[in-house]
Amino acid sequence: MATTQLRKDAARNWDRIVAVARDLVDQGAPLQLNDVARRAEFGVATVYRHFATPEALLETVATPCLETLITHGRHALADTDPGRALEGFLSRVAEAQVTDAALAPVAAATTDSLPRTTELKETLAATGTTLLDRAREAGAVRPDLSSADLVPLMCGIAYAVNIHGGATADRIDTAHHYLALLFEGLRVTGTRACPGP
Amino acid sequence: MATTQLRKDAARNWDRIVAVARDLVDQGAPLQLNDVARRAEFGVATVYRHFATPEALLETVATPCLETLITHGRHALADTDPGRALEGFLSRVAEAQVTDAALAPVAAATTDSLPRTTELKETLAATGTTLLDRAREAGAVRPDLSSADLVPLMCGIAYAVNIHGGATADRIDTAHHYLALLFEGLRVTGTRACPGP
Amino acid sequence: MATTQLRKDAARNWDRIVAVARDLVDQGAPLQLNDVARRAEFGVATVYRHFATPEALLETVATPCLETLITHGRHALADTDPGRALEGFLSRVAEAQVTDAALAPVAAATTDSLPRTTELKETLAATGTTLLDRAREAGAVRPDLSSADLVPLMCGIAYAVNIHGGATADRIDTAHHYLALLFEGLRVTGTRACPGP
Amino acid sequence: MATTQLRKDAARNWDRIVAVARDLVDQGAPLQLNDVARRAEFGVATVYRHFATPEALLETVATPCLETLITHGRHALADTDPGRALEGFLSRVAEAQVTDAALAPVAAATTDSLPRTTELKETLAATGTTLLDRAREAGAVRPDLSSADLVPLMCGIAYAVNIHGGATADRIDTAHHYLALLFEGLRVTGTRACPGP
DNA sequence: CATGAATGAGCCTTCATTCAT
DNA sequence: AATGAATGAAGGCTCATTCAT
């Protein structure tokens, strides 16, 4: 989806560039604009016209994924069980991180190239914050987790999964596993201390 | 410490190279052999003779840290409380990861440049495995955590801390925080339901 | 002023393009047709249709200045004091050179893009030649200065002023200073040797 | 002349690079390091190793010329006739400017790439200042010329000569002509008013 | 007439590695 | 053993101009 309306042919080119970039990202190759141009069989400047920097292109590649997550976030906000809502949402995020190689670097970056990206990330972060606050208030998670930890922890899980390795299907399982572990840790543990009578 | 005995002057050079590399790593600078040579005031080839690749040099820089961790591991193995032993050990590992910039990339790498590195990493992994096995047997941690997850999880924590950011002292705190979370999650959770008498 | 009659809207575009170009020149920015188009909010091709090359645009920007100088030249030709006429005229030229950044490159160019520019430059050169001839005949300037030297010397003065630097007001003063020096040198010096009685 | 002692082969390469650059400058071609490398049949990086920027190379090309001028300056300082000394020196400078295409841009630049260049330019400027001061004190030149004008005026003359055009020999004549004009202008003009009896 | 996307040559620069001295 | 000059592929980016829409 282009920010402004493009001419039809330009839009086709835009799509092709993003598609090529998507392929490269999926292969784990570094995103170099010259390389993208060569593979898409465009002049370099064509690619540069559409995407001023590799980061801008990467963010564009990651955008649909971010948008999907936002949709999931919206559903989660509608959930009446705060704990389940948070866990479900983070589960989606973790899955996305290990499924879509474009997401992790964009999520981890402190500065964005595209305003649109900042917007999406902020929306997503706000959703996470709300869900966490609600869960905390409901006593579903420990109080000592700040919303500033959500992104780092999600990125950390994705990173851990990458190191663990494996095929995509396994990776999703691993991510769920690590997330479940984290969630165990997050549960309010007052009961755990229960010394008995 | 060189693998084989070096002539005295060569050993001095070796030390200087490693010291310069350590500085660069600490500054967060990329480890380029040319750069190291210039700063150490050696010819490039001298550096190349000692370290065939940047990775080899990086591993060498990380070696003392790995050795220290192994020592910690040995102490942990002597601890009679398996849960405390594991937690203490992983705590050391997490601290080291966020403290020493050379460690994370070496730990995360799937292939090593130096046999010595492989050796150290394997020793460390074996220690972790043993500690985990014991803790699991003692019922101190959940059974569904494989020793193959230890390195990924440690790296993931380090990565999360890096994204979270902050000064070194804060980073150590954050690492402890995340590790504590993980440990909560690892605890056998039957007790969490604590049904009372 | 367009060479041929333009449709009203085309004339408006033409004006806007020239205005933008004038701004760029005044800011000391390089005159790139793409850049002009973007700032004028036109398509590149629109600018290219009006001005085939950056030079053509630059010459167009310089045209009013050339025309003004021609007017000054006409007044000078009406002056009855040949020495004063020449000096006054060159003074205007020097001022224009350091005041209007578009003039110097156009004056210095050996070939012009627009016939109109050639015309104006030739008119101006002819005026200079006439004024110089008259001054020479009147004994107001040395005989060893060819009219072919006028343009180079004016450009040289402008260049010297640029190197000397300073704000616009200072630059005009400097230009006058250098021109005065030149004029001292141009005065017939036979009398200078006069040792007196 | 290299700043520090080079190995014999490196010195040969250094010389070849400078020679190629000299040729390019003489042809009026822009000095591009890649181009120099190609013509000298060196790898690009070899040229970059010797000269970090095109400016550094250009300054190196201009250095012998600057050194020669300094020598001339020393001779001029030994001259007992202050007027003749200044005129002779500036004459050399003007000749050099129109003879050696490397000189003008280096002289006109406000910042230098090589410390050596700054040194040479300062020495030369100091010489000019001294000669001008002496000439002024001796009443050989008008008091209203600052030493800050010397460089601009010399550059201006060179520029004027370039615009005037012509073969090298003619150019030198033209430069002398313009300089003579300037010098007429510089002469103390009290005598000029003398109309005789 | 107007548009603005596409072009692609070409410049600058860096870096890991080799090899003559 | 030590040196450090040389390499050259490769990446990043710009810009004047053309041409399909």
pLDDT in tens, C112-146: 999 999 999 999 999 999 999 999 999 888 888 89
pLDDT at B120: 97
Task: Give the pLDDT band (50/70/90) at residue C154.
Answer: very high
Chain C contacts of D191, Cβ < 8 Å?
192, 194
Q: Do D185 and C189 touch (CB under 8 A)?
A: no
C1' of nucleotide F12: residue with nearest CA: A34
Q: What is the tens place of the pLDDT at every residue in A21-66?
A: 999 999 999 999 999 999 999 999 999 999 999 999 999 999 999 9
Of D163, D182, D197, nearest to C181 by CB-CB distance is D182
Q: What is the DSSP letter of C190?
A: G
pLDDT at C7: 67
Our measurement of CA A34 to C1' F12, in angstroms, reads 8
Q: Is C71 on the interface with D (CB under 8 A)?
A: no
Chain B contacts of A139, Cβ < 8 Å?
none
- Quick check: helix, strand or coil at residue B138? coil
Q: Is D111 on the interface with C (CB under 8 A)?
A: no
Tokens standing for residue B22 = 């350590």
The C-alpha of D10 sits at a distance from chain C's nearest C-alpha, in angstroms, of 37
Q: What is the DSSP letter of D193?
A: G
pLDDT at C183: 85
Q: Is A151 on the interface with B (CB under 8 A)?
A: yes
The C-alpha of B53 sits at a distance from chain A's nearest C-alpha, in angstroms, of 21
pLDDT at D9: 81
Of C151, C164, C191, nearest to D196 by CB-CB distance is C191
Is the C-alpha dihedral spanning A100, A106, A109, A110 positive or negative? Answer: negative
Q: Which of B163, B186, B192 to mutate to test the interface with A (most CBs of A within 10 A)?
A: B163
B neighbour chains, 3+ CB pairs within 8 Å: A
Question: Which chain A residue shows the shortest CA-CA distance from B192?
Answer: A192
Tokens standing for residue C176 = 């006058």
Burial group, residue C138, by CB count within 10 angstroms (0-12, 13-18, 19+): middle
Residue tagged 């006409």 (tokens): C74
Q: What is the DSSP letter of B29?
A: -
Report how far residue B24's alpha carbon sits from residue B102's, in angstroms, rounded to the nearest whole number.
Answer: 10
Task: Give the pLDDT band (50/70/90) at residue B184.
Answer: confident
Question: Which chain B residue shows the shortest CA-CA distance from A161?
Answer: B152
B10-14, C65-69, C152-156, D172-176: least confident range: B10-14
C neighbour chains, 3+ CB pairs within 8 Å: D
Task: Give the pLDDT band (50/70/90) at residue B92.
Answer: very high
The C-alpha of A73 sits at a distance from chain B's nearest C-alpha, in angstroms, of 22
Max intra-chain CA distance, chain D: 76
Chain C contacts of D165, Cβ < 8 Å?
110
The C-alpha of C98 sits at a distance from chain D's nearest C-alpha, in angstroms, of 13
pLDDT at B102: 95
Domain architecture of chain D: domains with CATH: 1-51 (1.10.10), 54-188 (1.10.357.10)
C128, C77 in Cβ contact below 8 A?
A: no
Report how far residue D126's alpha carbon sits from residue D122's, in angstroms, rounded to the nearest whole number.
Answer: 6
Report how far residue C105's alpha carbon sits from residue C111's, in angstroms, rounded to the nearest whole number.
Answer: 11
Chain D contacts of C165, Cβ < 8 Å?
110
* DSSP class per residue in D166-194: --HHHHHHHHHHHHHHHHHHHS--GGGG-
pLDDT surpasses 60 at B195: no
User: Residue ranges of the alpha helices (H) in B27-149?
Assistant: 33-40, 44-50, 54-78, 82-99, 103-108, 115-137
Q: Is A170 on the interface with B (CB under 8 A)?
A: no
Q: Is B166 on the interface with A (CB under 8 A)?
A: no
Q: Which of D181, D183, D188, D194 to mutate to test the interface with C (most CBs of C within 10 A)?
A: D181
Tokens standing for residue B122 = 């394997």
Q: Do C108 and D163 touch (CB under 8 A)?
A: yes
pLDDT at C185: 65
Task: Give the pLDDT band (50/70/90) at residue A162.
Answer: very high
Task: Give the pLDDT band (50/70/90) at residue C10.
Answer: confident
φ/ψ of residue D151, rounded to 5: -60, -50
Q: CA-CA distances (angstroms) from residue B11 to B49, B113, C110, D67, D170?
A: 12, 20, 69, 47, 68
pLDDT at A144: 86
pTM of the model: 0.86
Question: Which chain A residue shows the shortest CA-CA distance from B191?
Answer: A192
Q: Which nucleotides of E are covered by protein (CB under 7 A)?
A: 1-21
Q: Is A144 on the interface with B (CB under 8 A)?
A: yes
Report how far residue B56's alpha carbon sits from residue B33's, in angstroms, rounded to the nearest whole number.
Answer: 10
Q: Is A156 on the interface with B (CB under 8 A)?
A: yes
Q: Is A152 on the interface with B (CB under 8 A)?
A: yes
D194, C196 in Cβ contact below 8 A?
A: yes
Question: Which chain A residue shows the shortest CA-CA distance from B104?
Answer: A163
Task: Give the pLDDT band (50/70/90) at residue A195.
Answer: very low
The C-alpha of A134 sits at a distance from chain B's nearest C-alpha, in angstroms, of 19
Our measurement of CA A29 to C1' E9, in angstroms, reads 27
D49, D103 in Cβ contact below 8 A?
A: no
Of B164, B185, B194, nearest to A149 by CB-CB distance is B164
Which carries the bigger pLDDT value, residue C183 or residue D179? D179
Task: Give the pLDDT band (50/70/90) at residue A6.
Answer: low
Average pLDDT in the B107-133 region? 95
Q: What is the tens place of the pLDDT at every residue in C76-100?
A: 999 999 999 999 999 999 999 999 9
pLDDT surpasses 60 at C2: no
Q: Which of C184, C187, C189, C191 to mutate to test the interface with D (most CBs of D within 10 A)?
A: C184
Q: Is C105 on the interface with D (CB under 8 A)?
A: no
Question: Which chain C residue shows the shortest CA-CA distance from D174?
Answer: C149
Question: Which chain A residue shows the shortest CA-CA distance from B174?
Answer: A149
A neighbour chains, 3+ CB pairs within 8 Å: B
CA A165 to chain centre: 19
Q: Is D149 on the interface with C (CB under 8 A)?
A: yes
pLDDT surpasses 70 at B187: no
The ranges of chain D with pLDDT < 50 are: 1-3, 190-197
pLDDT at C104: 94
Q: What is the tens place of the pLDDT at every residue in A127-154?
A: 999 999 999 999 888 888 899 999 999 9
Our measurement of CA A33 to C1' F15, in angstroms, reads 18
Question: Which chain C residue shows the shortest CA-CA distance from D180?
Answer: C185
Chain C contacts of D192, Cβ < 8 Å?
184, 187, 189, 191-192
pLDDT surpasses 90 at A174: yes
The C-alpha of A37 sits at a distance from chain B's nearest C-alpha, in angstroms, of 28
Q: Is C19 on the interface with D (CB under 8 A)?
A: no
Of D149, D187, D196, nearest to C164 by CB-CB distance is D149
Chain B contacts of A152, Cβ < 8 Å?
160-161, 163-164
Q: Do A186 and B189 touch (CB under 8 A)?
A: no
Chain C contacts of D156, Cβ < 8 Å?
156-161, 163, 178
